[in-house]
Amino acid sequence: MIFTQEYQFYLPQIDEHLDQDEEFIILEDGDRVEKILFHEYHKIYEVPGLYEKLFYRRLRCQSPTVIADMLAENMARNGQDMSRLRVLDLGAGNGMVGEELKNRNAEMLVGVDVIPEAKMAALRDRSDVYEDYHVLDFTDLDPKDELEMRSCRFNCLVTVAALGFGDIPPEAFLTAFNIVENGSWIAFNIRDKFLTKDDESGFRDVLQNLTEHHFDLKDSKKYVHRYNLHGEPLTYKAFVGVKLNNVEE
Ligand SMILES: C[S@@+](CC[C@H](N)C(=O)[O-])C[C@H]1O[C@@H](n2cnc3c(N)ncnc32)[C@H](O)[C@@H]1O
């Protein structure tokens, strides 16, 4: 669909508390008025600049810079800079995280996302960030695609704002974890509620197993990922560390 540069969007005035994937905007472009859920990324990416205006300017998302800074700081503490980083950016979207790492001199970035609109938006809006960008489903990765991914010899995996909420499930994250080489830097974040005892997403157990056996955790912190429609902070936890070995599948 084609949108004009004159489109506008509104945050609804609602009393009820919606979960992160239930929040929505009203988009107006000429005669067209559309309700778009925050997690309908395919619709958001189609509108140039909407993702940035909504999540970064209005709702003050800061995860790409928080994760990129944490990664840079921890690498520096270990006597490394980013100029040799060969990054697999899983759930790359329109390239906000890729851009942060590129600006910090990462050698090579490959984006992966499950929807074609993400690739289209990344190539449209940040054409110089990724060496390659693949539309792939890591929950069911074709052996040919897996081989191609391995041939990139990634030494870094980043996944930002893409775990949980019907986005990337634990098994897809573990597939990516196993594709990058031993000794790779791993940087990701996740909503803190997925790490609580009662949560059923499976992330808590997966992360516990990772940090006990497969991942040398260097740093982690809680921070405000963004604000919700009511102006309340959404807290995430960020993790940075080094892969030790593969997780058995
Ligand atoms: C909130 S966006 C984050 C994009 C980018 N990482 C950022 O921080 O701006 C989440 C992205 O994860 C992608 N995604 C959801 N499920 C996925 C999956 N199974 N595999 C790869 N990407 C997925 C979505 O299409 C979306 O582009």
* Tens digit of each residue's pLDDT (9 = 90 or more) over 120-161: 999 999 999 999 999 999 999 999 999 999 999 999 999 999
Is the residue at 88 inside a domain? yes
Which of the listed residues 53, 56, 94, 114 should we mutate to test ligand 1's pocket, taking the one with most ligand atoms within 8 A of CB? 114
Residue 249 lies in a domain: no
- Both 113 and 235 in a single domain? yes
pTM of the model: 0.95
Q: Which domain holds residue 37?
A: 8-58
Residues 70 and 192 in one domain: yes
Q: What is the pLDDT of residue 31?
A: 87
Looking at the structure, do residues 48 and 137 belong to the same domain, yes or no? no
Does the beta carbon of 176 lie inside 6 Å of ligand 1?
Answer: no
Mutate to test the pocket of ligand 1, among 41, 55, 124, 145 (most ligand atoms within 8 A of CB): 41
Residues 130, 16 share a domain: no
97 and 12 both lie in a single domain:
no
Strand partners, 86: 108
What is the rounded CA–CA span in Å between residue 63 and residue 89? 14
At 162-174, the pLDDT tens digits run 998 889 999 999 9
Does residue 226 lie within any of the structural domains?
Answer: yes
Cβ-based neighbour number of residue 232 at 10 Å: 10
147-156, pLDDT tens digit by residue? 999 999 999 9
Provide CB contacts within 8 A for 45, sequence distance 6+: 51, 93, 94, 115, 117, 118, 120, 121
Q: How many CB atoms lie within 10 A of CB 94?
A: 28
Cα 101 from Cα 160, distance rounded (Å): 12
Place of tokens 């790490």: 195
| pLDDT tens profile 176-193 | 999 999 999 999 999 999
Q: What is the residue-level pLDDT of the chain in tens, covering all 249 positions?
A: 666 678 999 998 887 888 888 999 999 988 889 999 999 999 999 999 999 999 999 999 999 999 999 999 999 999 999 999 999 999 999 999 999 999 999 999 999 999 999 999 999 999 999 999 999 999 999 999 999 999 999 999 999 999 988 899 999 999 999 999 999 999 999 999 999 988 888 899 999 999 999 999 999 999 999 999 989 999 999 999 999 999 987
CA neighbor of 179 nearest in space, from 92, 86, 74:
86
Q: Which residues are paired to 109 by β-bridges?
A: 87
